[in-house]
């Protein structure tokens, strides 16, 4: 999916100096990525709109696609360790999802 997100700042933006620290977890090694340069730091309130998306590609093998999926991998690793993965959707829910996908 490709989706345009509009970020519109309100009038209370504050710009200044700051520091960025990125932390890691066992399933998400973001802390290994060096922060080389911080260009600007802005704090404030924003109005965000997510415009309707469009399909840019279909996935024939969902297992190969999972590394690109935008879900929290920390939870998946924890759930696998704990044996607490969510239940699969019901037949009715799968049918509803399939119908919704066909509309695209």
More confident residue, 88 or 1: 1
Domain housing 36: 5-102
Q: Phi/psi at 55 (nearest 5 deg)?
A: -80, 130
Can you state the percent helix, strand and coil of the chain, rounding each to 5? 30, 20, 50
Query: Which DSSP string corresponds to 26-47?
Result: TTB-GGGS-------EEE--EE
What is the tally of structural domains in the chain? 1
Q: Phi/psi at 76 (nearest 5 deg)?
A: -65, -45
The reported pTM is 0.36
Q: Tell me: the pLDDT tens digits for 54-101?
A: 888 777 777 777 666 655 555 555 555 555 555 667 888 888 877 877
């Amino acid at each position: 999916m490709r989706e345009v997100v509009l970020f519109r700042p309100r009038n209370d933006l504050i710009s200044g100096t700051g520091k960025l620290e990125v932390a890691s977890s066992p399933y998400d090694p973001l802390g290994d990525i060096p922060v080389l340069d911080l260009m600007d730091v802005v704090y404030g309130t924003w109005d965000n709109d997510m415009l309707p998306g469009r399909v840019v590609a279909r996935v024939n093998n969902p297992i190969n696609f999972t590394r690109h999926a935008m879900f929290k991998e920390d939870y998946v690793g924890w759930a696998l360790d704990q044996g607490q993965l969510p239940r699969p959707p019901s037949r009715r829910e799968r049918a509803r999802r399939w119908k919704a996908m066909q509309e695209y």
